[in-house]
Copies of this chain bind each other. A is one copy, B any other.
Amino acid sequence: MGEKLEKLKEILGEVSDISHAAAVLGWDLQVNIPPKGHEARGQQLASLSKIAHEKSTTDEVGKLLDGLKKEFDGADSASDEAAMIRVASRNYEKATRVPSEFIAEQAVVSSKAFEAWGEARAKSDFSIFQPHLEKVVELVKRYVSFFPPTDHPYDTLLDDYEPGMKTAEVKAIFDGLRPRQVELLKAIASKEQVKDDFLFVEYDEKKMMDFGMDVVTQYGYDWSRGRQDKALHPFETTFSVTDVRITTRFEEDNPTATLFSTMHEAGHGMYEQGVNPSYERTPLESGTSLAVHESQSRMWENLVGRSRPFWEHFFPAFQKTFPSQLSDVDVESFYKAINKVEPSLIRVNADEATYNLHVMLRLELEIAMVEGAVEIKDLPEVWNTKMEEYLGITPPNDAQGVLQDVHWSGGSIGYFSTYALGNLISAQLWEKINEDIDDLDDQIRKGDFGALLEWLHKNIHQYGHKFEPQTLVEKVTGSKINPDAYVRYLTKKYSEIYGL
């Protein structure tokens, strides 16, 4: 390996260590922090982030990258080294374009906006949040201005979460998806609803937690390189390929949600555990984008974890664990119950048939905000109108409407669409996997997930950041990201359940 590359890897290795240290501090903040420990932790995280930024934007890094780009010009562009230089250059370019004073200003604005959002949501009063969101959007526009012009200003934001994706692509994908999901939803609404009351009775927390852990153990989540803790909002976090942690929560009024949350986060976790260990401490470590990540979590949660074969395997044990709740329930009723479709107000509780509609609504509003096509003060009204249009329901208040998500208060604009894209990718991969593993359902029915995980490791996980999401999806499935497979999946599943 050349001297320049060696030096670059040394510097970026240290940056990776700092980022992972910040991840540990962030995990601890959500899992363990004592009540009065928040403020100091925020300061520590700010310092680590500042140092990582300083170290990754020095002239030395810039010169090394310039030299390396020349050195590797014409070399095998599919090599790990070429990919590493490509990703490192992209990161450097992004990091150096944004002045550190701007980052500091954004941190202050976000912190205040987050606080205001909390109060606004508690009081269900958008006017408390409005001036802060206006500032957030103003800063987002300024952020965009640091970058060269793109086809659409939203492209710059999207690229931070989905490298290489364009707003026009996402719009086209969603335009092809929305009417078909709305149509499916209408068809379902005309049928008799399934019964799911037995899901909402009392379940023992520890037994539910343990069952979830058993499931993901069978999935292949590696506990020797991970652990699960409780957190208010479940998440996955990576400290190294040998330490990938998940969290879950238990909701009294929705006890089985724990199961699906654990499967979801373990899906993220198995992706991270599967990245090529030689990418450790380089820009190629970790999953390549939020959407591809979400394709993994949603696959293990939904395509596997809410499937009939899965429950044909697990239901007897689940029923035995919870006899008083489930002795009168058969596997078919249980399967239908966990797949009940019902338009609802809150995205995070939405079922598979409605979830993407929540996301599309948000994307449209984000694009309109960035374009200046909507005034912030009008957001609640626009939100409610779209909810009625897509889901046929109108939020009774802003807390259950436009104020429900935290993302905008933190300046995360450009993030939401990755949730829906992840669903689409999961179904595209699923069709391909079923071509390659022709008895996959039978394997799942036996509780055997080895071939599935191996396929994902081989085709997705191992590559880490090497390929951009569109490239990876096309390489694996032969097509770019598109809604067809997901619509086929939903239609088939719900046709069976609801007799469409």
Also in contact, A243 and B47, with CB within 8 A (given A24-B28, A32-B227): no
Q: Let me know if A230 is at the binding interface, CB within 8 A.
A: no
**Chain A 28-56 interface residues, beta-carbon cutoff 8 Å to B:** 28, 32-37, 39-41, 43-44, 46-48, 50-51
Also in contact, A41 and B240, with CB within 8 A (given A24-B28, A47-B18, A51-B51): yes
With a CB–CB cut-off of 8 A, which chain B residues contact A35?
224-225
Also in contact, A40 and B280, with CB within 8 A (given A21-B48, A51-B14, A51-B51): yes
| A30 vs chain B, min Cβ distance (A) | 13
A224 touches B34 (CB 8 A): yes
Q: Which residue of chain B is the closest to A37 with respect to CB atoms? A: B243
Contact of A239 among B37, B51, B280 (CB under 8 A): B37
Q: A230-274, CB under 8 A of B: which get 1 and which 0?
A: 000000000111110100000000000000000000000000000
Q: Let me know if A25 is at the binding interface, CB within 8 A.
A: yes
Q: Let me know if A281 is at the binding interface, CB within 8 A.
A: yes
Q: Let me know if A135 is at the binding interface, CB within 8 A.
A: no
B24 touches A223 (CB 8 A): no
Q: Which residue of chain B is the closest to A40 with respect to CB atoms? A: B240
| A369 vs chain B, min Cβ distance (A) | 34
Q: Let me know if A81 is at the binding interface, CB within 8 A.
A: no
With a CB–CB cut-off of 8 A, which chain B residues contact A43?
17, 281
**Chain A 1-28 interface residues, beta-carbon cutoff 8 Å to B:** 13-14, 17-18, 20-22, 24-25, 28
Residue contacts A-B, CB under 8 angstroms, 12 given:
A17-B44, A18-B48, A18-B51, A21-B24, A21-B25, A21-B47, A24-B28, A34-B226, A34-B227, A40-B240, A40-B243, A41-B239
New contact pairs (17) apart from A20-B40, A24-B24, CB-CB < 8 Å: A17-B48, A21-B22, A21-B44, A21-B47, A24-B28, A34-B224, A34-B243, A34-B245, A35-B225, A36-B224, A37-B242, A37-B243, A40-B242, A41-B239, A41-B240, A43-B281, A51-B51
B-contacting residues of A (Cβ < 8 Å)?
13-14, 17-18, 20-22, 24-25, 28, 32-37, 39-41, 43-44, 46-48, 50-51, 223-227, 239-243, 245, 280-281
